[in-house]
């Protein structure tokens, strides 16, 4: 399967539902799903649904409020996506998969506009590495992957909702995701 076809393999993506919200997520390993912290909120457990409608439980293993990331241990195995290990170039085509406004498994596309360090958490001074994109990111798309040639370059997290600022979305960079997931899984007992 080529990398573009992999972006359309909807079995890799999930819907994450918590008391605090609903968003997207994807397998980062066979038993772990990544999403945004703001999708899971203060929940300890979430409901995860795959493309076939199978619903299974997930337990929040860790969150990073500064990077707006959450790692979920899930009861149903899935096929993980690959995190990009290379730099992302400006102007490269991107795809996002999410569930905007309840329209499940929607694929949108755009380009990388910039790589930035920004503050995603108003209660902290820490900045995180993000990808700025014009790929449409709407409520329900949060937590889903931003893809380049089928590899995850970021986790969709925010869009600027100003009336004059269309096409201004952000995804937490894959470097931040890798650091977060590695730190959490290294602390886990085998």
From 95, 74, 104, 78, select the one nearest 153 (Cα to Cα). 95
Six token digits for residue 189: 């007992």
Mean of all residue pLDDT scores within the chain? 87
What pLDDT, in 10s, does the model give residues 160-186? 655 555 668 999 999 999 999 999 999
Same topology for domains 8-80 and 93-178, yes or no? yes
Indicate if 29 belongs to the active site: no
Indicate if 134 belongs to the active site: no
Q: What is the pTM of this model?
A: 0.89
CA distance 19 to 14: 17
Among residues of the chain, what percentage have pLDDT more than 90? 57
Indicate if 38 belongs to the active site: yes
Query: Does residue 146 contact residue 131 with C-beta atoms inside 8 Å?
Result: yes
18, 32, 38, 113: the catalytic one is: 38
- What are the residue boundaries of the structural domains of the chain, listed by start? 8-80, 93-178
CATH no. of 8-80: 2.40.10.10
């Amino acid at each position: 399967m080529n990398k573009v076809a992999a972006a359309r393999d909807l079995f890799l993506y999930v819907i994450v539902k918590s008391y605090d919200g609903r968003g997207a997520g994807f397998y980062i390993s066979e038993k772990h799903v990544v999403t945004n912290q703001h999708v899971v909120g203060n929940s300890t457990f979430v409901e995860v649904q795959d493309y076939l409608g199978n619903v299974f439980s997930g337990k929040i293993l860790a969150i990073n409020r500064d990077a707006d990331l959450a790692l979920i241990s899930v009861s149903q195995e899935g096929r993980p996506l690959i995190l990009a290990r290379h730099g992302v170039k400006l102007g490269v085509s991107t795809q996002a998969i999410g569930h905007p406004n309840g329209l499940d498994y929607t694929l949108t596309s755009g380009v990388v506009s910039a790589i930035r360090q920004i503050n995603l958490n108003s209660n902290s001074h820490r900045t995180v590495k993000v990808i700025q994109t014009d790929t449409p990111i709407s409520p329900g798309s949060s937590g889903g992957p931003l893809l380049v040639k089928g590899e995850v370059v970021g986790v969709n997290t925010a869009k600027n909702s100003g009336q004059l600022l269309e096409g201004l979305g952000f995804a937490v960079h894959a470097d931040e995701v890798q650091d977060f997931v590695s730190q959490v899984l290294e602390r886990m007992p085998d």
